Structure 1
Amino acid sequence: MTQHTPTTTDQGSLHVLVVDDNHDAADTLAEVLEIMGCRTATAYDGLEGVEKADELRPDAVVLDLGMPRLNGYEACQRIRAQPWGRGLRLVAVSGWGQQDDRRRSMEAGFDAHLVKPVAPEELLALLEKPRA
C-alpha cells in the first residue's frame, strides 16, 4: 500500500475539499482557504463529499458532522475505507464540540476535530500537517 502524500500544483498549493450542508459556510471556508493559498472544491452533503473525494483525490477533506443523506462520521468512514483515503488528512469542523462528539469523530477516522467558528490559520496548520 502506498501512503498518500499531498499533491501540489506549480504554486505548491494544497488541494482541499470542503463538505458542509450549509452552502454559505462551505463556500466561505473554501474562499478563505483559497486566499491562504489552497486549491479548493466544495460539496454540500456527505454522500456528495465522498463522491467528490473519490473523483478529485484531494490532499485533505474538511467535513461538517451534521449533514443530510450521509453524516460526517459516516462520510469519513467511507473515505477511510478506500485505499486512496487511508493517508488523507480528514478534519471535522462542526458546531458539535462535546467530549462524546470528539470521541466519535476520532473513532470514525478523523485526524482532528475543530469547533465552529474555526480560526483559518489553525485549520490550515492541521491540513498541512503530515499524517502519522
Structure 2
Amino acid sequence: MGELLGRVLVVDDDEVIRQLIAVNLTLEGFEVETAYDGQDCLDRVHDVDPDVITLDVMMPRLDGWETATRLREDPSTRHIKVMLITARAQEDDRRRGYDIGVDAYLTKPFDPAELIQIVRDLAKSPGAL
C-alpha cells in the first residue's frame, strides 16, 4: 500500500456519481468519505477533516453554492480545498464558484483522469487563506 495522498469528502446526491468519484480516488491512494448533500457535508466535515471536498452543485436540502459559501465563511473549514463538480457549465456558474472561493471547477461528464489530477494538485497545495 502506497502513502496516503490525502483525505477527500465526496459530496453528491447521485449515488452512482458519488461512488464513481470515490472508487477512482480510492484506487489512486486517497482516503475517501462520502456525503449525500450539502447539509450532510457540513454535519460531517469536522469529523472527516478532509484535505479536499468535491461538491456537486444541484443537491436537495443544501446546494453546492450555499455549502461552499458556508465552508468559506467558517474559520475552521476555510482552509479546505473545494472543487465543484457539476453539469452547470455556463461561464456565470464558473464565475459564481470562483467568487465564492472554490479552488477548482469540473463539469460533468468528466474524465476520471482529470478528476484525479485536480484532486492530487489540490491535496498537495497549501491550505486556502
Normalised by the length of structure 2, the TM-score is 0.87
User: 1 CA distance for matches of 2:118 and 2:77?
Assistant: 17
Residue in structure 1 matched with residue 119 of structure 2 by the alignment: 127
Residue in structure 2 matched with residue 105 of structure 1 by the alignment: 97
Confirm whether residue 48 of structure 1 aligns to residue 3 of structure 2: no
Confirm whether residue 91 of structure 1 aligns to residue 83 of structure 2: yes
What secondary structure does 2:94 align onto? Answer: helix
1:84 Cα deviation from its structure 2 partner: 2.8
Correspondent of 1:27 among 9, 19, 25: 19
User: 2 CA distance for matches of 1:118 and 1:93?
Assistant: 8
Unaligned runs of 5+ in 2: none
Amino acid at match of 1:86: R
1:118 Cα deviation from its structure 2 partner: 1.8
Contact 2:83–2:102 (8 Å) recurs in 1: yes
**Mapping 1:3-22, distance limit 5 Å:** 11-22=3-14
Unaligned runs of 5+ in 1: 1-9
User: Residue deviations 1:66-96, cap 9 Å, x none?
Assistant: 0111100100111112223222110000000
Residue in structure 1 matched with residue 110 of structure 2 by the alignment: 118
User: Residue deviations 1:22-52, cap 9 Å, x none?
Assistant: 1111112101110111110111111001112
Number of corresponding residues: 123
Contact 1:93–1:115 (8 Å) recurs in 2: yes
Q: Once the two structures are aligned, what percentage of the paired residues are identical? A: 36
